[in-house]
A and B are shown apart, each in its own frame.
Chain A
């Protein structure tokens, strides 16, 4: 998968996320403490609401519509109303930029 320069690290607050659109798909890039970053699909698997307005807390993102929760490290759906996992993609930081490997 090609690696893409997605954004500056400073574009994302700590314990927060940023929407990133690429090709015909949409993703969510998360920043935890320091330079720890993750990338998942952008849409909640329950009703396809974008996670961009969601809450990031303790490696969990919560969907803004129904409070469905996913582990951002693995994409695992953590219980109703979400049952299907999110896709996850490798992400890293280099020289203050966030790079993600996307299909």
Chain B
């Protein structure tokens, strides 16, 4: 905590779930509130929500196949520079691609079959160094109270943005040790105050059991490193969470960065970005982020269709990651001087009235 405070830029507001902003959000009616949703015909929505195993079985086979192939070839070439490109790809598949698998399977929408969602969710949670029980509840809260200060545990772009920490996290330097420490703490039977705020009592024993399984795998990996006198086992298990996470941040930070806080309209606090097929495979179409938040029951493989159905009611999507970052970078630097500054997406004529919520922040 001491080290972290050295690289933390002071903030006006507390983003803690147990601090004064949490009470303020509840009092203002921002907690568990009704959110704006773009109108869509019930029959069309039902068609979009329909589940199927096939797309996710295909994508999972490609993902796991590539993970095994690149990891295996990288291990065989270990000691030579030829291993480097294989580990770069392996790391991205291990960490960046696992995040979107964790996310979709956590929602239970990737596959139609429940156990398939659960199995991939557990594997991806381990790869991401996340306690599968704790993070399921954390993400539920993110959907209830998206970017509501004091309520949402998954706000990555605070104000002013923690640029040093964000920069270090492109290689997991702050987040991975924090995640590891959280799992270690859970394995000892303890939950942090924030975790205890959103994980119900009845789920806590399971959270502890999961953490112990994760820690056992890391202990075996560490023993293998010692036994072989090599960091290769850790390059395959654990360390990819650091060296392979960068692409997730490139794609994922723009989800909400620079946009409004404390509003009740995902068109104002989330961003949809057009991406190419390769990135959408890694990211499982989470670039359609406004749509995902409005209708989280629509599986990833139907999000492009949902986007077509609601796009006339939403701000224009960013045409590329490059365009999104070109909008974000000046905004976050300005927020260093002026934390109240944020981007106001322009809704098209005829779109539903924006729902600023009781704080009315976006209307200022």
Contact = CB atoms under 8 A, between A and B. Distances in A.
Contacts, number: 45
Contact of A62 (B43, B45, B200, B297): B297
Given A47-B144, A81-B140, A54 B297 contact: yes
A46 to B, nearest CB: 7
Contacts of B200: 83
Contacts of B137: 80-81
A66 B202 contact: no
B131 interface: no
Interface in B97-145: 107-109, 112, 114, 133, 136-137, 140, 143-144
A98 to B, nearest CB: 18
Interface residues of A, number: 19
Tell me whether chain B's interface is mostly helix, strand or loop, or mixed. Answer: helix
Contacts of A55: 46, 49, 297
B296 interface: yes
A44 to B, nearest CB: 11
B346 interface: no
A46 B140 contact: yes
Nearest to B35: A65
Interface of B: 32, 42-43, 45-46, 49, 51, 107-109, 112, 114, 133, 136-137, 140, 143-144, 200, 202-203, 295-297
8 contacts: A47-B32, A47-B144, A53-B42, A54-B297, A62-B297, A67-B297, A80-B133, A80-B137
